[in-house]
Amino acid sequence: MSNTRHLPFIPGVGTPAWLGVMGGGQLGRMFVHAAQAMGYKVAVLETTPDCPAGHAADQLVTGGYGEREALDELASRCVAVTTEFENVPADSMAYLAERTFVAPASGCVSIAQDRVLEKRFFVECAPGSSVMPAPHKVIASIDDIAAIPDDLLPGILKTARMGYDGKGQVRVRTREEVQAAFDAMKGVTCLLEKMLPLAYEVSVLTARGLDGESVVYPIAENVHRDGILFTTTVPGPNVSDDCARRAQDAARAMIAQLGYVGVLCIEFFVLQDGSLVVNEMAPRPHNSGHYTIDACVTSQFAQQVRAMARLPLGDVRQHSPAVMLNILGDVWFEDGSDTAREPAWEQVLAIPGANLHLYGKVEARRGRKMGHLTFVAPTLADAQDSLRQACAILGIAP
């Protein structure tokens, strides 16, 4: 493998190269589509056979993320392997890396799946990135709670591992509330972050190749509801040129410091005074980057394929203003009803610039990500108007 480690994997006629994905969710599904469009075959490793990525993949390997037999099968077939979610066991990524090319590396995944390590990394990057995380403290015992500085409250207590879409997070105002939340979380290691005067949130989608070259997409402005991404707007209506430059520079510094290969999303808070605070990162394509499928020259998923295959990274130019709307399972249900019915997609798709992406999940459930809509238009105002029309059709509060 050492002789081919730095060579590109180009799909050949009759003997296509195989790429592998750890995880069978919607991110894996969209990766599969992008890879197949470029001539690759894709194998997906997932614990259950009925999964979004498995429906599209050329091969589904059914097994646990830590099962050696399943990992060996993936590694023996694929010239490169990636992950579609950050909580895949880092040990499994390291095991695969002994047998095939893996991007991102297990060390990068380890940092991103542990908030304590992640914050430590952000602090180490601060001299080069000029952006710090929010003031914070590790909470691993009762003694840590007693030692909380007064100016760290009110704050948000977050589990160090396994939190996503607002899960594993509790707002706390006093040490007593910290104690109650810590107890409710079964005493697992947590991170207490100071609540800051937030103006809005942005995410920076960046990618880096094995050769060290990197690219940064336009800055996306995000709105969340109940801890789940609601909309992504690009260009961000509140993002100044200076803010965009600082966020992009910080992302470049961080991805270089990691020695990262692949697509990385870094989320930042913009405070009311205009200052920038780094929040968290995801070592994979990201929900806020879905707009790139319809609005950019190279989608985030095609970019991940390029990085894995050691091909030149793609053009990140945005050709149209865009607004992305997450579609949750709630839109399948009338108010107060438990009976699912199909939303009026024909009305939504009559809106100019509407692009519907459904993830192939067999059951709609409230709060479950079922798909997304991206609205592209000549102007941002037009895209935002299309969003409002779709929300009215689907019964979503704009």
Where a domain ends, among 194, 223, 245?
Answer: 194
Are residues 237 and 202 both part of a single domain?
yes
The rounded distance, in Å, linking the Cα atoms of 34 and 115 is: 30
Are residues 224 and 171 both part of a single domain?
no
Collapse the DSSP code of 132 into the 3-class scheme (helix H, G, I; strand E, B; otherwise coil) and give the result. Answer: strand
Asked if residue 122 is part of any domain, the answer here is no
Model pLDDT, residue 2: 35
The rounded distance, in Å, linking the Cα atoms of 92 and 22 is: 10
Asked if residue 8 is part of any domain, the answer here is no
Model pLDDT, residue 130: 81
Number of compact structural domains in the chain: 3
Model pLDDT, residue 178: 94
Q: Is the peptide bond before 235 cis (omega within 30 degrees of 0)?
A: yes
**Residues contributing to the annotated binding site for ATP:** 115, 158, 163-169, 193-196, 201, 224, 279-280
Are residues 323 and 179 both part of a single domain?
no
Model pLDDT, residue 4: 45
Asked if residue 378 is part of any domain, the answer here is yes
The rounded distance, in Å, linking the Cα atoms of 257 and 313 is: 19
Asked if residue 130 is part of any domain, the answer here is no
Q: What is the pLDDT along the chain (398 residues), one digit of tens a residue?
A: 333 455 567 666 566 799 999 999 999 999 999 999 999 999 999 999 999 999 999 999 999 999 999 999 999 999 999 999 988 999 999 999 999 999 999 999 999 999 999 999 999 998 877 899 999 999 999 999 999 999 999 999 999 987 655 567 899 999 999 999 999 998 899 999 999 999 999 999 999 999 999 999 999 999 999 889 999 999 999 999 999 999 999 999 999 999 999 999 999 999 999 999 999 999 999 999 999 999 999 999 999 999 999 999 999 999 999 999 999 999 999 877 888 899 999 999 999 999 999 999 989 999 999 999 999 999 999 999 999 999 999 999 87
How does pLDDT run across 80-111, given as a tens digit for each residue?
Answer: 999 999 889 999 999 999 999 999 999 999 99
The rounded distance, in Å, linking the Cα atoms of 334 and 32 is: 33
The CA–CA distances, whole Å, from 305 to 18, 79, 144, 316 equal 11, 12, 44, 14
3-state secondary structure 27-38: HHHHHHHHHHHC
How does pLDDT run across 37-64, given as a tens digit for each residue?
Answer: 999 999 999 999 999 999 999 999 999 9
Model pLDDT, residue 398: 79
Model pLDDT, residue 212: 96
Helix, strand and coil percent figures for the chain, each rounded to 5: 35, 25, 40
Q: Residue 301: name the closest of 52, 84, 111 by CA.
A: 84
The residues pairing with 282 across neighbouring beta strands, listed in sequence order, are 265
What's the CATH number where 73 sits?
3.40.50.20
Collapse the DSSP code of 76 into the 3-class scheme (helix H, G, I; strand E, B; otherwise coil) and give the result. Answer: helix
The residues pairing with 101 across neighbouring beta strands, listed in sequence order, are 80
Are residues 140 and 214 both part of a single domain?
no
**Domain carrying residue 184:** 135-194
Where a domain ends, among 194, 214, 237?
Answer: 194
Are residues 189 and 217 both part of a single domain?
no
Buried b (16+ CB within 10 A) or exposed e, 244-270: bebbbbbbbbbbbebebbbbbbbbbbb
The rounded distance, in Å, linking the Cα atoms of 30 and 86 is: 16
Are residues 49 and 160 both part of a single domain?
no
**Residues contributing to the annotated binding site:** 115, 158, 163-169, 193-196, 201, 224, 279-280
Are residues 30 and 156 both part of a single domain?
no
Where a domain ends, among 169, 194, 219?
Answer: 194
Asked if residue 129 is part of any domain, the answer here is no
Model pLDDT, residue 1: 36
H-state helical runs in the chain: 26-37, 52-56, 68-77, 90-97, 106-112, 115-129, 142-146, 175-184, 241-258, 292-295, 300-308, 345-348, 380-394
Question: What single-letter amino acid sits at 351?
Answer: I
Quick count: other Cβ atoms within 10 Å of Cβ 148? 17
Dihedral Cα 57, 58, 62, 64, nearest 10 deg? -60
